[in-house]
Amino acid sequence: MITGIALIEGLFLFAILMSSLGILSQSRKQALVTRATSDVRLFATAAANALVSDDIGALHRILRQVMRNHGITYAVARDGSGRLLARAGHAVDSAHTYRAAASVVVDGTSYGRVEVEVTDRGFAPILAQASRRIVAIALGEMLLVGFVSWLFGSYLMRHIAAIEAGTARIARGEFGFQLPVAGSDELARMIEGFNAMSAQLKALQDEAAREHQQVLAINERLEERVHERTEALALANRELEYLAMHDPLTGLPNRILLQDRLLQAIRLGHRENAPFALMVLDLDGFKEVNDSLGHQAGDHLLRETAARLVARLRQSDTAVRLGGDEFAVLLPGVANAEDTEVVARKILRALEEPVLLGDRRVCVTASCGAALFPTHGDEVGVLLRHADRAMYEAKRGRRGFLLFASAMDEEGDDRLRLQVDLDHAIRHGDLVLHYQPKIDLVTGKISGAEALVRWQHPVLGMLPPARFVPLAERTHLIKPLTFHVLRLAATQARAWAEQGWPLPIAVNVSAVDLDDGEFVDSVERILKDAGVAASQIELEVTETALMRDPERARAAIQALSGFGVHVAIDDFGTGYSSMSYLRKLAVANIKIDKSFVMDMGVSSNDSVIVRSIIDLSHSLGLKVVGEGVETADTMAVLASLGCDYAQGFHLARPMDAEAFDAWRQKHL
Ligand code: C2E
Ligand code: CA
Ligand code: CA
């Protein structure tokens, strides 16, 4: 750039120099012309007389005089017709000469003309010196200008180069550096501005870096959290999967896992011709242990059974808890009846060993049935059903172990069919309720009704609860059954209330229902949905059901009475509840089991029992119902013993709602 500027300046100066020289040469020419013009005029004036008088000698003298003048190279004089009269010197006729002519006119007559050639040689040295000076001055100027330009340019360029380098550093992403500032001119201010920009950029960069760090940290934390959550989820999933596949009490695989293993065994069996045996085991008398020694003892027994099963099996075998006191064992490689029986007997012997429950040694036997793949089936459901059938038969015949035989199947099919039908009946409303009245022994008035379920079976006719309630209790059907009955009873209670003769209806609840943690909530919701007051529904729970898990039952009863549903203890006298336990229960009524009431007439023992139940209940502030009142005598005795209510065939059999309405009308 400096070179460029210097070059342009040089060119300018050169042009100035050239024009100066041009002017100089122009001036020289001008001086030459002026000189020649004045000389020729002087010459003409001097030569006028000589021409007029045609004095050639005089002309020559004048000519010599003229030639003495410095710088004249040539002079001539001619007459009027142009003839040469006199001449001096020689014409050079070059760029350094100028020729001028003048006519000699006297009184209007031309007497000739004179010519003079003048050369600049006379003032050439002066001109040359002037030119040299001009050139020298111009060169000096050029040098000076060049030097100043260089000085200024390099000063400028130093700063520009510094800024340029700075910009390059900024372009590379280096911020925050400062350029040295000298002076206070515009450049210095520009560099200061640049420095401020660099500092600002650095601050921005730092802030961006800090933010980036923060984002990174947040990201990292997020990733960690996501990772933790994923791990926790995976763990929870594994736990859930484990829980879904295992029985929490014994830790054994459950029915779902067994079905999966069975399916695999069947596939493998088909592919590789690998037989296996499936066993189903059921403890004998488990219910008694549970009822008499309590839930905890029952749990302990189940755990012990599981442990013994696992201990007797090979690693490739699978022991499963199917539910309740039912277990299953999958035995890969066991192909025939003999081998199956050997394993079964070994397991049964192990289970028969006494178990220490609390401070009591209890001997529990088990029944076992087995089915072989592929002989007795090649489907999961079929094999399970057949092994179950065989177990059922073994239990019924007290045989310990039985291998499935096709003859067993028909009866088993009946059971299964009944289960399917019951499921259908609950869904489609084939269950009906019959109502049996309860009488107040003091006033003789109807004080309530007990709802008793019946199944209007399409083929088998009207079935009593004994035919299907136990089946429902053994399967998953009891819950829907209980709630269905509760809904029917609630609807009926509401209808009676709307007809103007409200009557509390008692509904029977199974022991299994109380195991359901949501039971109480479900009851409350059903009553609410039916739009019936809680006081219109009473629940009957058998004493043995209460004793299965006294604490849970107590809590459930407490919650039920909390929202106004009365609970009665049914079949009282058959369980072994203690006074102290009864005291803790929020029950309203006690129903003496009908076996005591019916036999009161013949067994003095029973009347003692009935009397003490009544006294005990009254001392706890409870009302007593005598069930199974078949005769007027029994009713009279109950009344004399202070029993509060009576229920039985003597008063009325259970009847459908319509018959009940008719009976009630008559009774009033
Ligand atoms: P429970 O609760 O003890 O019901 C009384 C049973 O005794 C009824 O039998 C009733 O018909 C019968 N009974 C009433 N008075 C007399 C009498 O004077 N003499 C004799 N011998 N029997 C009388 P039912 O209807 O066959 O019910 C049997 C059992 O089935 C009930 O015993 C109850 O435990 C159960 N049950 C009935 N309905 C339901 C229900 O909806 N759900 C549940 N879980 N169980 C029910
Ligand atoms: Ca009952
Ligand atoms: Ca009863």
C-alpha–C-alpha distance, residues 278 and 387, integer Å: 7
Ligand 1 binding pocket includes 630 (Cβ within 6 Å):
yes
Looking up tokens 């107590």 gives 554
C-alpha–C-alpha distance, residues 76 and 471, integer Å: 167
Which residues face 402 on adjacent strands? 369
What lies within 8 Å, CB to CB, of 340 at 6+ separation is 277, 279, 331, 334, 370, 372, 403
Looking up tokens 């009475």 gives 561
Ligand at minimal distance from the CA of 454 is: 1
Ligand 1 binding pocket includes 649 (Cβ within 6 Å):
yes
User: Helix 478-498 to helix 407-428 angle, to the nearest 10 degrees?
Assistant: 30
**Residue 116's closest CA among 143, 147, 154, 88?**
88
Question: Quick one: pLDDT at residue 412?
Answer: 62
Ligand 1 centre to CA of 337 (Å) is: 44
Ligand 2 centre to CA of 572 (Å) is: 10
C-alpha–C-alpha distance, residues 245 and 256, integer Å: 6
In the chain, which residues have pLDDT < 50? none
Q: Where are the domains of the chain?
A: 2-125, 255-404, 416-666
**Residue 185's closest CA among 212, 155, 215, 162?**
155
Report the nearest atom of ligand 1 relative to the CA of 464.
26
Both tokens of 176, joined, read: 């925050």
For residue 84, the one-letter residue type is: L
Ligand at minimal distance from the CA of 452 is: 1
Ligand 1, residues 426, 452, 526: which to mutate, most atoms within 8 A of Cβ? 452
Ligand 1 binding pocket includes 543 (Cβ within 6 Å):
no
Ligand 3 centre to CA of 466 (Å) is: 13
Residue nearest to atom 2 of ligand 1 (CA): 508
Ligand at minimal distance from the CA of 545 is: 1
Ligand 1 binding pocket includes 465 (Cβ within 6 Å):
yes
C-alpha–C-alpha distance, residues 477 and 421, integer Å: 11
**Residue 654's closest CA among 448, 449, 444?**
449
Both tokens of 417, joined, read: 């069919």
Residue nearest to atom 25 of ligand 1 (CA): 452
Residue nearest to atom 14 of ligand 1 (CA): 648
Ligand 2 centre to CA of 570 (Å) is: 6
| 153-161 contact pairs (CB < 8 A, 24+) | 153/1, 153/2, 153/5, 153/6, 154/2, 156/187, 157/1, 157/2, 159/187, 159/190, 159/191
Ligand 2 centre to CA of 450 (Å) is: 7
Ligand 1 binding pocket includes 452 (Cβ within 6 Å):
yes
Q: What's the DSSP call for residue 249?
A: T
Report whether CATH 3.20.20.450 matches the domain 416-666.
yes
Ligand 1 binding pocket includes 376 (Cβ within 6 Å):
no
Residues with CB under 5 A from ligand 2 (ion): 508, 540, 570
Both tokens of 94, joined, read: 């070059």
Which residues face 432 on adjacent strands? 454
What lies within 8 Å, CB to CB, of 106 at 6+ separation is 48, 52
Instruction: Kindly tell me the burial class for residue 209, based on how many C-beta atoms sit within 10 Å of its own C-beta (0-12, 13-18, 19 or more).
Output: exposed
- Longest CA–CA span in the chain (Å) reads 211
- Residue 327 · residue 303 · CB < 8 Å: no
**Residue 306's closest CA among 248, 244, 264?**
248
Residue 371: what are its φ and ψ, rounded to 5°?
-130, 145
Q: What's the DSSP call for residue 94?
A: S
Report the nearest atom of ligand 1 relative to the CA of 510.
44
C-alpha–C-alpha distance, residues 214 and 212, integer Å: 5
Report whether CATH 3.40.50.300 matches the domain 2-125.
no
Both tokens of 423, joined, read: 């499921």
Ligand 3 centre to CA of 595 (Å) is: 9
Q: How many CB atoms lie under 10 A from the CB of residue 257? A: 18
- Residue 334 · residue 277 · CB < 8 Å: yes
Q: Which helix (H) or strand (E) holds 553?
A: helix 550-562
Write down how long the chain is. 668
Question: Quick one: pLDDT at residue 3?
Answer: 65
Question: Quick one: pLDDT at residue 5?
Answer: 62
C-alpha–C-alpha distance, residues 86 and 98, integer Å: 19
Both tokens of 289, joined, read: 């242990």
Looking up tokens 């069919």 gives 417
Ligand 3 centre to CA of 562 (Å) is: 24
Ligand 1 binding pocket includes 341 (Cβ within 6 Å):
no
Tens of pLDDT, residues 268-303: 999 999 999 999 999 988 888 888 888 899 999 999
| 493-502 contact pairs (CB < 8 A, 24+) | 493/530, 493/532, 493/536, 493/537, 494/530, 494/531, 494/532, 494/536, 495/657, 497/532, 497/533, 497/536, 501/664, 502/536
**Residue 623's closest CA among 649, 651, 596, 646?**
646
Ligand 1 binding pocket includes 573 (Cβ within 6 Å):
no
Ligand 2 centre to CA of 229 (Å) is: 51
> Domain 255-404 carries which CATH code?
3.30.70.270
C-alpha–C-alpha distance, residues 330 and 501, integer Å: 60
Both tokens of 631, joined, read: 């005769």
- Residue 435 · residue 467 · CB < 8 Å: no
Compute the CA torsion angle 392, 395, 396, 397 (nearest 10 deg). 120
Which residues face 624 on adjacent strands? 590
C-alpha–C-alpha distance, residues 139 and 219, integer Å: 73
Ligand 1 binding pocket includes 634 (Cβ within 6 Å):
no
**Residue 320's closest CA among 235, 255, 268, 230?**
255
Report the nearest atom of ligand 1 relative to the CA of 433.
41
Ligand 1 binding pocket includes 599 (Cβ within 6 Å):
no
In terms of DSSP bridges, do strands 72-78 and 84-89 run parallel, antiparallel, or are they unpaired? antiparallel
Ligand 1 binding pocket includes 654 (Cβ within 6 Å):
yes
Which residues face 362 on adjacent strands? 355
Residue nearest to atom 21 of ligand 1 (CA): 628
Ligand 1, residues 483, 508, 514, 656: which to mutate, most atoms within 8 A of Cβ? 508
Ligand 1 binding pocket includes 453 (Cβ within 6 Å):
yes
Ligand 1 centre to CA of 294 (Å) is: 25
Tens of pLDDT, residues 83-117: 888 888 888 888 888 889 988 888 888 888 899 89
For residue 575, the one-letter residue type is: G
C-alpha–C-alpha distance, residues 433 and 485, integer Å: 7
- Record the pTM: 0.48
Compute the CA torsion angle 573, 575, 577, 578 (nearest 10 deg). 60
